[in-house]
Amino acid sequence: MNKKQRLVMIGNGMAGLRMLEHLLKLAPERYEITIFGAEPHPNYNRIMLSSVLAGGADMNEIIINDLNWYKEHQITLHMGHTVTQVDTGERKVVSDQGIEAGYDVLVLATGSNPYMLPLPGADKEGVIAFRSIRDCQTMIEASRKYSKAAVIGGGLLGLEAARGLLNLGMEVSVVHIHPYLMERQLDETASRMLQRELEKQGMKFLFSRHSEAILGHRRARSLTFAEGGRIEADLVVMAVGIRPNVELAKRAGLQVNRGIVVNDFLETSTAGVYALGECAEHRGIAYGLVAPLYEQGAVLAKRLADVPAEGYAGSVTSTKLKVSGVDVFSAGNFREQEGTRVLRYQDELEGTYKKLVIQDNRLVGAVLFGDTSDGAELFSLMKKGESVQGREKELLLGVPADALSKGPGSGRLETMPEDEIVCGCNGVSKGTIVQAIQEQGCASVGQIKACTKASGSCGGCKPEVEGLLRIYAGEAALDVKEGICGCTSLSRDEVVAEIKRMRLMTVKEVMNVLGWSTEEGCTKCRPALNYYLGMLWPEDYVDEKESRVTNERFHANIQKDGTYSVVPRIYGGVTSPSELKKIAEVAEQFEVPMVKFTGGQRLDLLGIKKENLPKIWEALDMPSGHAYGKTLRTVKTCVGNTFCRFGTQDAIGMGIRLEKEFERLNTPAKVKLAVSGCPRNCAEATIKDFGVVAIDGGWELHIGGNGGVHVRATDLLCVVKTEDEVIEWASAFLQYYRENANWNERTSSWVERVGLDQIRTALESKEERAALQSRIRAVLDKTTDPWKQILSQPELRKNFEPLNREEVSRAGH
């Protein structure tokens, strides 16, 4: 038996791991693999960091290769190890923790470092980049203590950082050296359209500004400009570019320019040493987009497996992005210059823009804003370099109708080249997807996702994946509804119907009877089943605490350091001197590190040890604000006509009544309400799950709003005259949502999915509203404040012992 060669890879990121995935398929027994990764995490999708910052994903959701993957492939992984020495003579590497590893083949996948402007004060606390999980954690921590942030850099990364900080409740100013945003990806017209959309979301912009210094004692407090003036900033995020991480290669004596110089087979100047990804420089270019890095990985994998292959010839790049909820695409040379013709289409009503640049009858550049569905076809034409003479109008206005006979986009997808990247997040080409369908028998989008990872990250390519499935699977394509999780192929509606039909009464029973593929289920399906059972059988079902997530088991929000956050309920944001005094006394008694006003007009006591939670609630003697669960969170109010000269109704009274009516209500996802006392809408009722806006002689009722990652304004449900009618319609709407939404589906997504007309039809009958109100009342009559129940049963206090290491680790993620 041949002895395995030793392959050591420095870097545990997306480019290197994609190369290893290819290599393990081509030559699974050839190498004994060791990886050194500087971060204390397995391989994760860096593209999704903005989702983590914005709260749309957690660490587990962006991991590409979990620890089990490394074990399954017998890969030795040293997480949290920075390699400090490469000895190319002895063929060994040494980490900062003293670990040595000899190699026969060395792969450098060290990525890049964020560029930090050398400003006076750049070393102060609160000045960071946006490049890693740790940076996300730093921003989240800062948002809890400080209110104002400055992001230097108006490119993609800077805008994603700004969007995340807005979601964290900070006031954000984006400082850009250029006159308009994303100048490398967009022309000025598209950029101004993007700017208007982002300003609606709350971003502020300062253009043509050169940052001069960061002021403050130990921590950043303000940012000054060479042109004069300053802005307050407790947090300064630099997003001004990246530089290939080449220091280790330099010390090892490898040829380095901007990046580590490699040839067409990713070989460096030293035998046995290869480089790929953002640290590599090929033909004078260091790429920062994921698609070229994955193309490099495919070439290197074949080289290391001794599989004949053409070398890497460089990449023609395109950019298809979703910037804070807005789709943009650009490719090629989209600047106007001598010898070019420019075609434009702009629709301000729909918020779309299209620009094509043609030279010598060939498409050489394109910019799309708002609707990027034609991006792949346009990019393909650029790479082919074929003439578009006579087709200009067709390309500008869209694909002819006869090309859509097989479904949306099918004509374009059929002519798409095999090497065209469909899934940019994971670098999956059309050819790979077609191969999965034709050779591996994938007959559904879910199977394609499992096989190739296409559509497995942001999901933006799912329509293209579905289109390819229709074309290449034909009648064999399965119209599979994605299951509620990977443990079952059953949809939410199918699971609920079977629970009803067979009167299943426990989570375990549902899993056994309905044929779950995993015995214990997972973190997605267990909480969902627990909710569905409680929703269907409110009188008989006993809530399974073990099926709830950590926050809901302990009725408090776990923080990254393992402490907890306690939020007592303050109805409508209205409190009293005695209540404030009580909270202050409890905070002093238990030495609470921080007391903070929340965005929902309440007080948050942060930094509490788990074992102190019962004592604190006992001392507070206040109901829980349920800031941790899928329940009614808050009812935000303005002062209404009680004090405001513009108020037309009693917003405070209405808000308190709604909050007392629905507190403790379990829902598929968190629910937030608001009541504004006049159409000026100071309580922001039109971005809440259920919003009430006072008008002369009545109330407007709004539904399906969201102020989170994907901002959505509400739809007007109806107008009513009395407070009793507000309660009636709110009860009916919330119960209809409870009975019909998927687990973890916010009302904003649910309303878009089922449609406003269906909801109006379901609630238009007074008898049906009364029936829904009766059902929600029956549920609420059974609920009690969780802490009253815990405090009254000494045996439940035993659950509140100090955190163990595993819980602290989970909290850190």
Please report, in range form, the residues annotated as the binding site for [4Fe-4S] cluster.
638, 644, 678, 682
Structure tokens at 71: 């074990």
- Count Cβ atoms below 10 Å from residue 544 Cβ, excluding itself: 16
Two tokens, residue 534: 């409680």
Sign of torsion, CA 265 271 277 282? Answer: negative
Q: What per-residue string of b and e applies to 683-697 under the rule 16 or more CB within 10 Å gives b?
A: bbbbbbbbbbbbeee
Distances (CA, A) of 142 to 169, 396, 735: 11, 46, 37
Closest CA to 231 of 153, 165, 171, 161: 171
Asked if residue 445 lies in contact with residue 462, where contact means CB atoms within 8 angstroms, the answer is: yes
| 254, 273 contact by CB (below 8 A) | yes
Q: Which residues are annotated as a binding site?
A: 638, 644, 678, 682
Cβ atoms of 563 and 606 closer than 8 Å: yes
CA distances, 813 to each of 136, 561, 562, 807, 810 (Å): 11, 10, 10, 10, 5
Instruction: Report the run of H or E that residue 262 belongs to, with start and end.
Output: strand 260-262
The angle subtended at Cα 810 by Cα 804 and Cα 813, nearest 5°, is: 145
Rounded Cα distance, 404 and 408, in Å: 5
Binding region for siroheme: 682
Give one DSSP letter per residue of 32-95, joined into a string. Answer: EEEEEESSSS-EE-GGGHHHHHHTS--HHHHEEE-HHHHHHTT-EEEET--EEEEETTTTEEEE
- The DSSP bridge pattern shows strands 5-10 and 105-108 to be parallel
Residue 559 CB: number of other CB atoms within 10 A? 17
- Helices (H), strands (E): how many in the chain? 28, 38
- Compute the distance between CA of residue 543 and CA of residue 346 in angstroms, rounded to an integer: 54
CA pair distance 23, 687, nearest whole angstrom:
49
Please check whether residue 108 is in contact with residue 279, taking contact to mean a CB–CB distance below 8 angstroms: yes
End-to-end CA distance of the chain: 43
- What residues does 77 pair with on adjacent strands? 35
SS3 196: helix
**What b/e sequence results for 478-501 when a residue is b if at least 16 CB atoms lie within 10 Å of its CB, and e otherwise?**
eeeeebbbebbbbebeebbeebee
Q: Please write down the HEC assignment for all residues of 412-440.
A: HHHHCCCCCEEECCCCEEHHHHHHHHHCC
CA atoms of 792 and 786, how far apart (whole Å)? 10
Cβ 704 vs Cβ 752: under 8 Å: yes
d(C-alpha 69, C-alpha 66), whole Å: 5
Distance (Å, whole) CA 728 – CA 725: 5
Nearest C-alpha neighbor of 748 from the set 692, 689, 690, 700: 689
Q: Is 591 left (phi over 0), alpha (psi -120 to 50) or beta?
A: left
For residue 619 the two structure tokens come to 């001392």
DSSP 8-state secondary structure symbol assigned to residue 454: T
The owner of tokens 């292959």 is 309
Contacts within 8 Å (CB) and 24+ apart, 194-199: 194/323, 194/326, 194/328, 194/369, 197/324, 197/325, 197/326, 197/351, 198/159, 198/162, 198/163, 198/323, 198/324, 198/326
